[in-house]
Amino acid sequence: MRWLLCAWLAGLALPAQALDHDNLDPNRPIGMEDAYAIPKGEIGLEGGVRFNDRRQGRTNVTFQPQIIYGAFANTQIEIQGDLFTDPHSLVGANKSGDLHLGLLYNFNTETLTLPAMAVRVEADLPTGVNSKGVDTQVTGILTRSFGRLRVHLNGGYTVLGSPQGQERSGTYRAVAAVSYPLGYPGSFRDTLIASLYTRQSDLQGQRNHTGVEIGLRHQLTSRVVLDGGLGTEFLGPAERAALLGTIGVSLGF
């Protein structure tokens, strides 16, 4: 079995290494992240399925393949391409099949007086269904720990390159989240994450989407992390989410 794995890894030219389930990335499993990049040189393959059961309209399912690479010190680059089951009904920046490029730069590690700080810049190239213009996003991220509890703040702004119809030309997003390692001191395999978020609606004249999410990341093996999450939006437009759910897996090489 080990030789099969080795052969597969050799074929990819990406021999295996450990993954850190406590390093939080967007959508794995909920829409928040911490201020830390993956280690320099690490490669992560991530994938997930997310469903959005809306209060009005059809349930949407999203497939979220992603590659993350610790390209430089304290810097990770990301390539992602979400695929939706109902691509023609989408509004906003993230269209089905768009090529998403991202870069996260971590300025510092947390110390006794300073939180960890990072900035993320992203671009969605219009390769997807009904997509026009290059959409861009910038996000500031803070992580501060209190004992084992870590608090994360994300604040971002997205600019649509070519808004269509009633789409806003820009939208903001704010997330407050906490993460906590479960099982201490006997086990270190699970991290619980919860968030409260609000984001401007994609269409003008509608209320913010405001909701909560909760998720779990579980270190299955040295190389594999599983994740799952649930959420709901309690304020927002009529088609806001009644139930959000995500399951995913991350492989570190």
Distance CA 199, CA 91 (A): 14
Residue closer to other proteins, measured from CB, 40 or 207: 40
- Please report whether residue 140 would count as binding other proteins according to CB under 8 A: yes
Instruction: Give me the residues paired with residue 190 across strands.
Output: 182, 218
At 242, phi and psi to the nearest 5?
-85, -40
Applying CB under 8 A, among 47, 86, 189, 196 the residue interacting with other proteins is 189
Interaction with other proteins in 37-66: which residues (CB under 8 A)? 37-42
Torsion angle of C-alpha atoms 30, 149, 46, 75, degrees rounded to 10: 110
Farthest-apart Cα atoms in the chain, separation = 58
Rounded distance, CA 128 to CA 4, Å? Answer: 36
State which residue, 166 or 221, has the beta carbon closest to other proteins. 221
> Is residue 16 within the footprint of other proteins (CB under 8 A)?
yes
Cβ burial of 35 (10 Å; 0-12, 13-18, 19+) is buried
Judged by CB under 8 A, does residue 112 bind other proteins?
yes
Counting every residue written for the chain, the total comes to 253
Instruction: Single out the residue of 36, 78, 171, 246 in contact with other proteins (rule: CB under 8 A).
Output: 36
Q: Which of 148, 204, 207, 234 binds other proteins (CB under 8 A)?
A: 148
Report the interface residues with other proteins, using CB under 8 A. 2, 6, 9-10, 14-18, 20-22, 36-42, 70, 73-74, 106-114, 116-117, 119, 121, 133, 136, 138-140, 145, 147-148, 157, 159-161, 169-170, 181, 184-189, 219, 221-223, 253
